[in-house]
Amino acid sequence: MTRAAQVQVGVARRSPQLIYRLLGESPLESRQLDQTRKEVAALVTSYFDVGKSKDITSLSGFFAPSQYFSKFDESRPYTRQNSDDAFMYEQARFANISDYEYKVEDLRIDVIGFVAVATFYLDYKGVFVNDYSFEGSTVAGKSRVTMVIGKFGESWRIIHQHSSRFPDSTEKHP
């Protein structure tokens, strides 16, 4: 195994500060790290705010370019989604929910270079409206969410998103 490969293998077991030293990069300064965490936190909340604002067309701006994006969701379809699929399903989800409320809890943001990993719990509730039957049904639940977020130019974008419902979630399916 080459020295570079040994360093890469060992990197996963070391602190971010040590990773930077091993890879020849300098760690983010504390104020840069704080600013980055604020930017990433703002992206997370802005993403879920779309359900309230109904600015559905803005959703595609949250996703990384399609060759980098993937998503696993707790709702159908249960297959890996690319950016086009995720955009379509999120549009439908946010467009058809009214009285939407959410709460991001225990947000943790780890920053490694130009990538951030945000993990949190998402409490949500609202009324899913079926436009064809003009009926609504209450939905509510709590999920575990992981977002891998990368810096593309001057903006942060979601590279990967994975959500899974808590097993004891009280969500009622529409």
* Torsion angles phi and psi, residue 95, rounded to 5: -70, -30
Mean pLDDT of the chain: 83
* pLDDT at res. 77: 83
Q: What is the pTM of this model?
A: 0.77
* CA–CA gap between residue 164 and residue 146 (Å, rounded): 9
Higher pLDDT, 16 or 37: 37
pLDDT per residue as tens digits for the range 111-145: 999 999 999 999 999 998 876 667 788 999 999 99
Alpha helix (H) ranges present in the chain? Answer: 3-11, 16-23, 30-53, 83-95
**pLDDT of 172 strictly over 70:** no
Please enumerate in sequence order all residues whose Cβ is within 8 A of that of 67, keeping only pairs 6 or more positions apart, or say none. none
Higher pLDDT, 132 or 99: 99
SS3 49: helix
* Domains defined for the chain, CATH in brackets: 29-165 (3.10.450.50)
**pLDDT of 157 strictly over 80:** yes
pLDDT per residue as tens digits for the range 21-70: 444 445 567 889 999 999 999 999 999 999 999 998 898 899 999 999 99
Q: Return the residue matching tokens 């992981």.
A: 146
